[in-house]
Amino acid sequence: MTRSRRVSGRYTYAMESKPQLLHEVVITAIIVKDGKYLITRRSPLKKRFGGMWTVPGGKLETSDYVNLPKDTKDYWYNVLEQVLRREVREETGLEIKNIEYVTSLATIHADGAPSLVISCMADWESGEVVLQESETDKSAWVSLEEAKQHDLIGGIYEELEMADARRRGVKTEWKKA
């Protein structure tokens, strides 16, 4: 893939004739506890979105499943859920349950790396927030209204709205507020 031209402040990308299959896969959790949502501020030293607020999550690594026995002859199941539980535990010290899909998004970062992000919501199960300082430096349990007071990564607020609607039994697809 190569950057082709800038249009209306955005870059358009020309894809090579052979599709690129390797994406960084990221999974995130909107964690719900007592009607509030956990947001965390990324360490200012992070390469991407340093100092901005988001929800916990992280990248899928092959080590998350290749050393485990397969659940069937050919496949490992619940890999993303296991990764999400691990990432939330590492970044925040919390245990989560009742993981549900919310939405997905894709991007091509400035360094050219394509990412696929799967956004989920989950209920807090146990633990107190203890941050992994190399990843995040602050956290807050917020209402939707309180979330607006934080410098959130683009799209996160809309994901929080979707999670809030799902808690009320309304299923929606992502749309820009």
| Tens of pLDDT, residues 62-102 | 888 888 899 999 999 999 999 999 999 999 999 999 999 99
Range 22-167: architecture per CATH: Alpha-Beta Complex (3.90)
* Domain boundaries of the chain, sorted by first residue: 22-167
- Give the C-alpha distances (Å, rounded to integers) separating 97 from 18, 33, 57, 126, 127: 40, 11, 14, 9, 12
More confident residue, 108 or 97: 97
- DSSP state string for 28-42: EEEEEETTEEEEEEE
> Nearest to residue 99, comparing CAs of 172, 53, 39, 163?
163
Torsional class of 127: left (φ above 0), alpha (ψ -120 to 50), beta (otherwise): left
pLDDT (average), residues 19-48: 88
Lowest mean pLDDT among 22-26, 27-31, 74-78, 87-91: 22-26
